[in-house]
Amino acid sequence: MQGKLLVVGSLNMDLVVNVARHPQIGETILGGKFTTFPGGKGANQAVAAARMGAAVTMIGRVGQDGFGDELRARAAEDGINIQYVTVDKNEATGIALITVDALGQNTIVVASGANLALTPQDLITAKAAFANADVMITQLESPLETVSEAVSLAAQHKLKIVLNPAPAQRLDAKLLSMIDYFIPNEREAMQVVGAETLESAIDQLLAMGVKNLIITLGEKGVLVVTADGRRQIPAYPVIAIDTVAAGDAFVGAFATGLAEGMSVEQSVQLGNAAAAISVTRYGAQPSLPMRKEIKEFLGGQK
């Protein structure tokens, strides 16, 4: 069964420099190769899902410039319906300044540009897209009032709601209680509730009404906390060269699994496989695997 996904979120052009190590504050270092890659958490998750075979519609905003044209074109090449990715005449397309070190670890600074001009009204205009989806994914690179409207429209249309709270900010119980699958990494889980430890964050998130908590732990795998209890699902061991968009690979593939009617565990396995493959490749969207590659990868795992 083909899943139907709606992604409300960001599109950025990633400006990436490879470095031996990240600079200290006030320090200048010489980097290596400079590359541009299509990115943005929303677009990455949309592409990840499309490459898993989902029918994906995206709602987002780019500027009237070369980066915006390229991002829309690349998303369309992946089969994503970009009818609701609109062009803003006043704001530039979002960009992300990224450094990737020799261990594949990154730092990312986003200049959001047109992503911050995505309004609740844009979502109301795109209401038909909500009526035609099984699962809605969103993140926090769009204005919070727009994310809240997306969640509210998705709830009205009885979609499964996935929120990846990145980059993290404090969230209230009204929003959290409407989320079916909340997917932070360890640090984000603590930041959204202002907790000092992961344990405290888990307790607070559950008390605030999160239904299924899926915490990504990088090479340690994923911690799943549901009404049935908690279990840690290990990551597939690989050698990472670039971890940019690993979380997005996970979210897009996980949501595709849900939309196809898979269990949470099966969806996590799909997400883990997509993330594992993505970290073995450079760039955000170029690193995201096709479903066929996942099948081959899982066939090769013991």
**Catalytic residue ranges:** 248
Helix (H, G, I), strand (E, B) or coil at 75: helix
Among 244, 249, 264, 273, binds ligand RIB (CB under 6 A): 244
Which two tokens mark 300?
């090769």
Residue in 8, 38, 61 with CA at minimum distance from that of residue 245: 38
End-to-end Cα, the chain, rounded Å: 27
Q: How far is CA 270 from the centre of its chain?
A: 15
Q: Name the residue number minimizing CB distance to ligand RIB.
A: 39
Distance between CA atoms of residues 65 and 35, nearest Å: 18
Q: DSSP 3-state assignment of 90?
A: coil
Q: Which of 6, 8, 19, 39 binds ligand RIB (CB under 6 A)?
A: 39
The answer to whether 108 contacts ligand RIB (rule: CB under 6 A) is yes
Residue 249 interacts with ligand RIB (CB under 6 A): yes or no: no
Q: Are 280 and 240 in contact (CB under 8 A)?
A: yes
**Reduced to 3 DSSP states, what percent helix, strand and coil does the chain have, rounded to the nearest 5?**
40, 25, 35
Nearer to ligand RIB, 40 or 60 (CB): 40
Contact with ligand RIB (CB under 6 A) among 5, 16, 41, 46: 41
The reply to whether 225 sits near ligand RIB by the rule CB under 6 A is no
| Region near ligand RIB per CB under 6 A, out of 33-41, 47-55, 218-226, 251-259 | 33-41
Among 3, 5, 8, 14, interactor with ligand RIB by CB under 6 A: 14
- In the chain, how long is the greatest CA-to-CA distance? 53
Applying CB under 6 A, does 68 fall inside the site for ligand RIB?
Answer: no
List residues binding ligand RIB (CB under 6 A): 10, 12, 14, 39-41, 44, 96, 108, 110, 141, 244-245, 247-248, 284
